[in-house]
Amino acid sequence: MKRTIILFYFVGIATTLTSQNTRINDFNSIGWYNLFMTKKINDKWSIHLEYQWRRTNFITDWQQSLLRTGINYKVNQKLLLRVGYGWIETFPYGNIPLQAAGKVFTEHRAFQALLLNDNLNSLEIQHRLMLEQRWTGRYLKPNITSEDDFVFVNRMRYMLRLQIPLGKKQLEDQTFYAAIYDEIFIQFGENVQENIFDQNRLSGLIGYRANKYFKLEAGYLYQAVLLGREIKGNNVVQKNNGLIINAYLNF
């Protein structure tokens, strides 16, 4: 039953992303290079820190800079809670920038996350539900060089990640693994003007766990982003394809 639900989930996402043929498409090549760190305080509490260096044209140009930090609370072996703050700088990229001003803009973000882990034989299943409160900068006057207003928007995110060890029955030290995940982003609140559906990310990865302190993974990333404004009466969707590399450090 679980396998059937998971299959229909990914089929539904693929259908949604390929069925919007009437929208304006903006295609970009991206490269995301990410570092995730966890510092354990005791059996229940730990500190989370991450930096994501997001590029376009694979590596040559800026897409986004994202710094996020938080506090983890381990409820039990399967459930982890996290609260924190993110600081994001988004750059104008592609043929149609996210904001009409076509300038760099800042976002301040508070978030609360729930991570639930389960196993189906050797298959590891992770659900992540995240709520975000976003204050996004914008330009109300054409000639200014920094934001003169911040707009508040709520966003909900849900990620399903499947992971399986390669050549072994369970993930242990010096083991390769394969993973796939999909994440949906939904906006809500009075300041959402154009699209409730914000974006979707789909990725396939090959990873290597060296030991309990370090693992590395790399693979393909597809990102679909719906702009919050129209161009000549049409919605715009970015279809970004490229490379993702994740490094994990546990202290």
Distances (CA, A) of 5 to 9, 10, 158: 6, 9, 15
What amino acid occupies position 73?
A: Y
What confidence tier does 145 reach under pLDDT thresholds 50, 70, 90?
Answer: confident
Q: Residue 144 corresponds to which tokens in the numbers above?
A: 């200014």
Pairwise CA distance, residues 202 & 104, whole Å: 26
Q: Which residue has the higher pLDDT, 148 or 34?
A: 34
What confidence tier does 3 reach under pLDDT thresholds 50, 70, 90?
Answer: low
What amino acid occupies position 228?
A: G
List the one residue out of 3, 2, 63, 76 whose CA is nearest residue 28.
Answer: 63
Q: Would you list the domain boundaries of the chain?
A: 2-250
Pairwise CA distance, residues 36 & 70, whole Å: 11
pLDDT tens figures, 189-236: 888 877 789 999 999 999 999 999 999 999 999 999 999 888 888 999
pLDDT tens figures, 106-142: 999 999 999 999 999 999 999 999 999 999 999 998 8
Kindly tell me if the per-residue pLDDT of 43 is higher than 60. yes
Residue 17 is classified by DSSP as: H
Instruction: Please list the helix, strand and coil fractions of the chain in percent, rounded to the nearest 5, in that order.
Output: 5, 65, 25
The predicted structure's pLDDT at residue 141: 87
CATH number for 2-250 (one of 2.40.160.40, 2.120.10.80, 3.40.50.300, 3.30.460.10): it is: 2.40.160.40
pLDDT tens figures, 162-181: 999 999 989 999 999 999 99
Q: Which residue has the higher pLDDT, 7 or 91?
A: 91
The predicted structure's pLDDT at residue 230: 87
List the one residue out of 220, 202, 210 whose CA is nearest residue 177.
Answer: 210
pLDDT tens figures, 46-69: 999 999 999 999 999 999 999 999
